[in-house]
């Protein structure tokens, strides 16, 4: 049975190659892009703009986490643990935008006011990740 499955996978790969599909590994491609971004600068309207380093991006994320923590009322003694989880834990690659922070604040205010809250969006737009990040920020256990 296993060899049959492997044979089918190989056949599918060969078919995709013949059809000139390119199969990419997300982690490998993102790693290549990050390496490229560290070496490159972008020329926009005649002025050179340097792509921010990973350290700069991490510092900006920490500032945004501070805003989120203040907005949802995280106690000072828990801020460091939450910041570590959002920066180094399972949310290491989560991009925390101010738009997402506003959505989280709206959700937490609705929940605290016992108002029903419905999240709508296309498949894969980040609804679950937003809720998981909010649960982490508020130190709440999320049951899915």
Q: How confident is the model at residue 144 (pLDDT cuts 50, 70, 90)?
A: low
E strands, 8-57, in order: 41-44, 47-50
Distance CA 65, CA 71 (A): 10
Whole-structure pTM over 0.75, yes or no?
no
Q: How confident is the model at residue 113 (pLDDT cuts 50, 70, 90)?
A: very high
pLDDT for the residue numbered 49 = 64
User: What DSSP assignment string belongs to 76-129?
Assistant: HHHHHHHHHHHHHSTTTT----HHHHHHHHHHHHHHHTT--------TTSSHHH
Q: Which of 22-26, 83-87, 109-113, 115-119 has the lowest mean pLDDT?
A: 22-26
Distance CA 113, CA 118 (A): 14
pLDDT for the residue numbered 89 = 84
Distance CA 19, CA 107 (A): 46
Distance CA 58, CA 81 (A): 16
pLDDT for the residue numbered 10 = 79
Structure tokens at 83: 């910041």
Give me the residue spans of the domains in the chain. Answer: 23-138
């Amino acid at each position: 049975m296993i060899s049959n499955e492997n044979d089918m996978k190989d056949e599918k790969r060969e078919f995709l190659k013949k059809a000139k599909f390119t199969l990419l590994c997300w982690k490998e491609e993102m790693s290549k892009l990050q390496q490229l971004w560290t070496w490159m600068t972008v020329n926009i309207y005649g002025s050179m703009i340097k792509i921010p380093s990973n350290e700069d991006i991490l510092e900006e994320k920490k500032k945004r986490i501070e805003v989120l923590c203040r907005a949802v009322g995280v106690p000072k003694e828990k801020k460091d643990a939450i910041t570590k989880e959002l920066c180094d834990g399972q949310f290491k690659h989560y991009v925390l935008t101010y738009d997402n922070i506003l959505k989280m604040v709206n959700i937490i205010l609705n929940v605290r006011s016992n108002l029903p809250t419905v999240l709508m969006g296309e498949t894969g737009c980040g609804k679950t990740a937003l809720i998981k990040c909010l649960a982490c920020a508020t130190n709440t256990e999320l049951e899915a």
